[in-house]
């Protein structure tokens, strides 16, 4: 199990960048959902370095797609937490740290790639539920306008 420092550094450092800087900047021109998808793609790419680096761990043919399938929906969920908490980075940091503790305490075995896919699909389903339940928050056009409306 990683130490408290590793968990805090991951959730604190990543969330300051992804949800603290990138998400709000992208929301100036996109909906919360659109910004979250962009952040999710960037975040997943960031996490693929361990697999893609020379001598990397894991199998890139399965690990890279599963990373995108898991982290893009997670970015949508974290963007929803950020929006629903009126911009509280602390709320997102706590969610991220709790996630890190949970996946460390109950890891997905590396010897069965189908379990990794199943976990990623569950993240996707969770994000889909959030999208349906919070569609007005997530799909609002930039600047607070309703989606599809050009006027103020």
Residues in the chain: 152
Q: How confident is the model at residue 106 (pLDDT cuts 50, 70, 90)?
A: confident
pLDDT computed for residue 143 by the predictor: 66
Q: With 60 as the cut, is the pLDDT of residue 145 above it?
A: no
| Mean of pLDDT over the chain | 86
Could you tell me the pTM of the whole model? Answer: 0.86
Helices (H), the chain: 4-17, 23-27, 32-47, 49-52, 60-84, 89-105, 113-133, 135-138
Both tokens assigned to 55: 């001598």
Rounded (5°) CA angle 22-38-113: 120
Confidence class for position 152, pLDDT limits 50, 70, 90: very low
Q: Please tell me which residue, 20 or 100, carries the higher pLDDT value.
A: 20
pLDDT at 50: 78
Q: What is the pLDDT of residues 34-57, one digit of tens each?
A: 999 999 999 999 988 877 777 767
């Amino acid at each position: 199990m990683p130490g408290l420092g590793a968990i805090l550094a991951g959730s604190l450092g990543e969330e300051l960048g992804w949800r603290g800087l990138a998400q709000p900047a992208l929301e100036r021109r996109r909906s919360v959902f659109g910004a979250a998808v962009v952040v999710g793609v960037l975040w997943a790419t960031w996490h693929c370095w361990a697999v893609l680096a020379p001598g990397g761990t894991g199998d890139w043919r399965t690990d890279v797609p599963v990373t995108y399938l898991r982290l893009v929906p997670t970015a949508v969920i974290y963007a929803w937490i950020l929006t629903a908490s009126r911009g509280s980075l602390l709320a997102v940091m706590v969610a991220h740290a709790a996630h890190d503790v949970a996946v460390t305490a109950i890891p997905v075995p590396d010897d069965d790639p189908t379990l990794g896919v199943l976990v990623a699909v569950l993240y996707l389903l969770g994000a889909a539920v959030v999208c349906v339940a919070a569609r007005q928050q997530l799909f609002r056009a930039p600047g607070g306008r309703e989606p599809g409306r050009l006027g103020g």
